[in-house]
Structure 1
Amino acid sequence: MSSTDNQTFHVVVYIIMVLFLVISTTIGLYFGFYKKQRTTEEYLLGGRKMNLLPVALSLVVTFHTMTNYMFVAIMIANAIQALVLVPLLYPLRLTSTYELLYMAIVLLAPALALEAVAGIPLWLSVIVVGIIGTFYTSIGGLRTVIWTDVFQFIKLY
């Protein structure tokens, strides 16, 4: 195996990646069409009736890896937000200051990984990740996010 073989996806890896995306989308379709949310609280907060285990696994998948590698960067970002951004954004009455900054990181991180490993151009990676994430999240709400994170936890750990 040459050094270039280690830097490219093989057919099996592409199949696994596609299955991963199909399962995530299926979870969104399930919660979007078969377990419809009737209120904003059900959509955004899972009806406040999510079990502890899937919520905990969702939090582990979402934040554990990120905080291991970016603890110092997060502390600096929080200081900048508290001192600069909150005074600017608070009058806009947004749900969270993270609406603007966090989503950029959430889209860029997997897009950079796809670019590096699969050779997909960064602009296309951002679009693909954004469309898939927006699709399954907007259809199924918070329940979709949590159960997709549970699926990712099982797959990754």
Structure 2
Amino acid sequence: MAVQDRFGVWDWIVFSVLLLVSVAIGFYYAVSGGKQKTTKEFLSGDRNMKVIPIAISILVSFQSAILIIGTPAEMYTVDSMFFINTFGSMLGCILTSILFVPLFYNLKTVSVYEYVELRFKSRAARVISSSISILSTINDPIKPDIFLDHIIISGFPEWASYLIMGSICTIYTFLGGLKAVVWVDAFQGLIMLAGILAIIIQIFVIDLLYCENVSRFFNPDPTIRHTFWSLVVGGTITTTGIYGTTQSSIQRFTALPSLTDAKIELITDKIF
């Protein structure tokens, strides 16, 4: 059976609906509730957001297109041992709920960089840390560019992909604040989940959990590509850092109505 490498009619419909609904959510929150007239509502959703949407939003924020494409490729071309990283991620979320969530939630801060300024009593430290964060994420536009160029339209110009994706994200964020961002993420998360489930159903006969080289499973050698120790320990450290100290995570879990909800959110995120 021939493989279709370009969008068909239904692909365009789903893609268009995804973009239109994202913008519509921004317009909805621009005219509903408090209409984003206060800083508290715009940045933290009045600290009255729900656990499930926040969990999906944080999940989507860190589950990039590169990760979705790269992880199956890694497991297919190398081996399936990479799935052990999931356990490290779970441990990382538990550590984050114990170490970082109470700290940032009780401070009622919406910015990790605000905490840096308070901690070191230095405005310069806040500016430097926020600048480093911006530089570290500046490659994000490459992801939609790869998607548009290689999947939808061959030769799609980079500037056009940046303009389309950047404009849509800016519009719904500007109009609806954190509420719009969270619910757009939740909606996009469901689309991503549907796509992943469709792939799983289509290839269910393949045993992805088969480990071809069990002898190196618990090998302590750090130079080996994947072992139990490198994936669990590495996954724990990586997840703790991402979920516990990044702006994308902190601003979301501090928008929940209670500290208990914030902790539950992290556990729920790993369930998804």
TM-score category of the 2 structures, normalised to the smaller one: 0.7 to 0.9
**Which residue does 2:261 correspond to in 1?**
none
Give the structure-2-normalised TM-score. 0.45
Q: Secondary structure at the match of 1:8?
A: coil
Q: Secondary structure at the match of 1:106?
A: coil
Shift of 1:34: 2.1
**Which residue does 2:151 correspond to in 1?**
117
Determine which structure has the larger helix proportion and give its number. Answer: 1
Give the structure-1-normalised TM-score. 0.74
Shift of 1:116: 1.4
Residue 108 (structure 1) aligned with residue 122 (structure 2): no
**Which is greater in Rg?**
2
Q: Secondary structure at the match of 1:50?
A: coil
**Which residue does 1:50 correspond to in 2?**
49
Describe the shift of the 1:124–1:92 C-alpha distance in structure 2 as closer, same or farther (beyond 3 A). farther
Describe the shift of the 1:44–1:99 C-alpha distance in structure 2 as closer, same or farther (beyond 3 A). farther
Residue 128 (structure 1) aligned with residue 164 (structure 2): yes
Structural mapping, 1:132-151, within 5 Å: 132-151=168-187
- Which ranges in structure 2 are unaligned for 5 or more consecutive residues? 72-84, 86-122, 194-272
What amino acid is aligned across from residue 53 of structure 2 in structure 1?
P
Q: CA RMSD in A?
A: 2.6
What amino acid is aligned across from residue 18 of structure 2 in structure 1?
F
How many residues are matched?
A: 136
1:111·1:122 contact (CA, 8 Å) conserved in 2?
yes
Shift of 1:93: 4.6
What amino acid is aligned across from residue 10 of structure 1 in structure 2?
G
Describe the shift of the 1:49–1:100 C-alpha distance in structure 2 as closer, same or farther (beyond 3 A). farther
Percent of aligned positions that are identical: 32
Q: Deviations over 1:33-82 (max 9, x none)?
A: 223112112111112111111101111111135678699xxxxxxxxxxx
